[in-house]
Amino acid sequence: MIKKRIYSPGPVDVSPYTSLEMARPILHHRTKEFEAIVAEVVEGLKYVFQTKGDVLVFASSGTGAMEGAVCNILNPGDKAICVRGGKFGERWSQLVTKFGGEPVDMNVPWGQAVDPALIESALKADPSIRAVYIQASETSTGVASPVKEIAGIVRKYEGTILVVDGITAVGVMNLPVDEWGLDIVVGGSQKAWRLPPGLAFASVSEKAWGFVEKCTQPRYYFDWSKERKALGKNTTAYTPAVSLFVGLRQVLAEIREEGLDALFARSASYAQAFRAAMVALGLRLFAPDSPSDSITAVLGPEGMDAGLIVKHLASKYGITIAGGQDDAKGKIFRVSHMGYLDALDMITAVAAVEMTLKELGQPVELGAGVRAAQEILVQA
């Protein structure tokens, strides 16, 4: 018997309780019953995004909400800083280019976080820059950005907004939208929300709505004004992904019950434990200086294709993790700390990595990683 376990940075495991909830008979979306679900879901999303402002929901993957955060904001010719320190930072830049904007690319080595001072001097040098696009947690590298500091800088510029890809951050790390003044934060259902993929979210500040109103870019399915108007009536502009909404209601109730502080602390303890374990095994972290608490990227042992670890975990232990993408292919493996998982799941992941390294002929002290993780988890 080999159980299937998934520790990829999305999709994450879905709880059987959520699966059962989603297996309930289908609802029509233009009914009072579904309107009540929309209302409850939106309230729950506002709680997790920590905002009194709008949180929109789309039937799409996270990329759809990223597209919306460009085509509802920038007019052709508008300049926008894109922090490119990984695959998803590059996506911002591609999106800005695609919709006729001028990306001001801020290239950061993969594995490192952007220095907020660079953003500050870029904005000082050119205050016509309309938006700053960043990742709160860059999924491809496991780097967390100094979001609060960046927000403090952007806030000083009336004509500039901050757009945060929070796809692997919201619901894992503290990103208080209103307190920090984050204009747009994007999320996706298959991450901290512990659902199958197919729903995307975007919080939108009043400052950002001012940009939306002035945006002449053609848009229809991702027309945020239309979606805001619909949500005001507890419905959606187009047919919603009904079953995912129903699942989300259940997950949001669980998150409220646990409380955001406890959730963030728990996620952080898993990440800290996993990082300590990898270091105890003699491995190097890909982002040692600014690690994300939602996902850890680990460099493979010197001279070894990290993809072999991913493959061995899958074939021998039924465990799905992720390898490196694009530039990091073969160099790193990535393990998630978000979603439906607990402390013992993290131990399982560490133990499987240890056994895999041993079986692949690497010098490793079995149990050393587990012990390092346990020491952190018992204190948490």
**Sign of the torsion formed by the C-alpha atoms of 266, 271, 276 and 277:** positive
**Contact with its own copies (CB under 8 A): which of 53, 146, 181, 198?**
198
DSSP string, 221-273: TT-HHHHHHHHHTTS-SS---HHHHHHHHHHHHHHHHH-HHHHHHHHHHHHHH
Considering only 36, 117, 262, 314, the residue that binds its own copies (CB under 8 A) is 314
Q: How far is the CB of 158 from its own copies (least distance, A)?
A: 27
Cα separation, 105 vs 81, whole angstroms = 6
Give the range of 91-99, 146-154, 344-352, 367-375 binding its own copies by CB under 8 A: 91-99
Parallel, antiparallel, or unpaired: how do β-strands 54-59 and 5-6 relate? unpaired
Binds its own copies by CB under 8 A, chosen from 53, 100, 181, 330: 100
Least distance from its own copies to the Cβ atom of residue 52, Å: 28
Nearest Cα to Cα of residue 193 among 64, 49, 65:
49
Going by the DSSP 8-state scheme, the letter that residue 173 receives in this structure is: B
Q: Indicate which single residue of 39, 118, 122, 242 sits in contact with its own copies (rule: CB under 8 A).
A: 242
Query: Phi-psi region for residue 162, left (φ > 0), alpha (ψ -120 to 50) or beta?
Result: beta
70 in Cβ contact with 222 (< 8 Å): no
Q: What is the per-residue burial (b if ≥16 Cβ within 10 Å, else e) of 242-274?
A: bbbbbbbbbbbeebeeeeeeebbebbbbbbbbb
Q: Is 11 in the site for its own copies (CB under 8 A)?
A: yes
Contact between 243 and its own copies per CB under 8 A = yes
Please identify which residue in 26, 125, 344, 378 interacts with its own copies, judged by CB under 8 A.
26
Two tokens at 176?
């208080």
The answer to whether 307 contacts its own copies (rule: CB under 8 A) is no
Q: Of 27 and 279, which CB lies nearer to its own copies in the complex structure?
A: 27
Confirm or reject binding of residue 293 to its own copies (CB under 8 A): no
Of 119, 364, 64, the residue nearest 241 (C-alpha): 64
Query: Is the Cβ of residue 194 or residue 275 nearer to its own copies in the bound state?
Result: 194
Options 141-149, 191-199, 265-273, 286-294: segment touching its own copies (CB under 8 A): 191-199
Quote the least distance from Cβ 36 to its own copies, whole Å: 14
Candidates 197, 210, 307, 330; binder of its own copies (CB under 8 A) is: 197
Q: Residue 216 has which token pair?
A: 């002449």
For its own copies, the binding residue among 44, 196, 291, 300 (CB under 8 A) is 196
∠ CA 339-249-51, nearest 5°, is: 80
**Minimum CB–partner distance for residue 327 and its own copies (Å):** 17
Binding site residues, its own copies, CB under 8 A:
4, 6, 8, 10-14, 16, 19-20, 22-31, 59-64, 67, 70-71, 94-95, 98-100, 188, 190, 196-198, 217-222, 238-244, 314, 320, 322
